[in-house]
Amino acid sequence: MLIETDKRLALQAYEQILNLVLSGQAKPGMMITERRLAETLNMSRTPIRDALLMLEGEGLLIRQGRSGLQVKQMRIEDYMDALQIRQLLEPEAARLAAGHMPPEILGALEADLKDLLHSATAPDGKPDRGSVRDVDDRLHDGIGEAAGNPQLAQIIRTLRRQTQIFDLRSIPERFEVTCQEHLDIVTALRDGRADDAADAMRQHLAHVRDSIIKRLAR
């Protein structure tokens, strides 16, 4: 029971620290220490230490000798390299996952995506970034898990963490298009159309890449 409690606390710490990084509160180049985080998150240092090790393993934090860990300054070259690998792996993961994701999970994703689209078209609509990232995580991570290869799922999760630093803040014009692309992926997965699921994922990631390139060229 104690081991399970420790694991749960470490995962809670992981999610909270990850949110600090992805939300920009912990900025690229910022030094992170166990003591400061323990005070900020009101947690003991043991789960904080375990969470930092996980984030270091995913490449979001870089160890700087005895000084502690530093939030990685993601170069655009790093981003494009990670995205290129995602383009190789995630379409195949979607192909393997087609017909194997639980209908209730896909149904919830479809409903949430439609809600996000509706919120964006409302007069005072402004999609909540936390909700956007939650849906994105549930879809892409769910595909990785449903593909039936735990190592593939972990590799994809790690790559996504690295590319999430460049999220929809960088390309806000992609919001509605991204939601529609995700809906296309969900539909193909639900119908068990493996080739269509792979094609939809491939097109989605290619459009993300093209949008980033277009933004950089401005």
Per-residue model confidence as pLDDT tens digits over 169-212: 555 667 889 999 999 999 999 999 999 999 999 999 999 888 88
CATH number for the domain that contains residue 10: 1.10.10.10
Cα(203)–Cα(191) distance, rounded to whole angstroms?
Answer: 18
More confident residue, 98 or 124: 98
Please compute the mean of the pLDDT values over residues 46-51 and round it to a whole number. 91
Residues in the chain: 218
Residue 128, φ and ψ in degrees, nearest 5: -75, 125
Q: Are 89 and 155 in contact (CB under 8 A)?
A: yes
Cα 209 from Cα 71, distance rounded (Å)? 23
Q: 123 versus 68: which is more confidently predicted?
A: 68
| Residue 116 belongs to domain with CATH number | 1.20.120.530
Note the pTM of the prediction, 2 decimals: 0.74
49 and 80 share one domain: no
Query: Which of the residue ranges 93-97, 99-103, 157-161, 195-199 would you say has the lowest mean pLDDT?
Result: 157-161
User: What per-residue confidence (pLDDT) applies to 128?
Assistant: 67
Quick one: 48 and 127 in the same domain? no
Task: Please say which residue of 71, 89, 104 terminates a domain.
Answer: 71
Dihedral-angle region of residue 50 (phi above 0 means left; psi in -120 to 50 means alpha; beta otherwise): alpha
d(CA 211, CA 178): 11
3-state secondary structure of 70: strand
Starting at the earlier edge strand, list the strands of the sheet with 61-63.
31-32, 69-71, 61-63
Q: What is the per-residue pLDDT across 100-138, written as a single tens digit (0 to 9) for each?
A: 999 999 999 999 999 988 887 766 666 666 778 789 999
40 and 58 belong to one structural domain? yes
Query: Domain of 54?
Result: 2-71
Same-domain status, 102 and 189: yes
Structural domain count of the chain: 2
Task: Give the residue from 71, 90, 120 where a domain finishes.
Answer: 71
Residues 173 and 82 placed together within one structural domain of the fold:
yes
Verify that 90 and 173 share a domain, yes or no.
yes
Taking residue 150's Cβ as centre, other Cβ atoms within 10 Å add up to 10
> DSSP label at 141?
H
Q: Quick check: 68 pLDDT over 70?
A: yes
Q: Looking at the structure, do residues 97 and 149 belong to the same domain, yes or no?
A: yes
Domain end point (choices 20, 48, 71): 71
Any alpha helices (H) in 147-173, and if so which ranges?
150-163
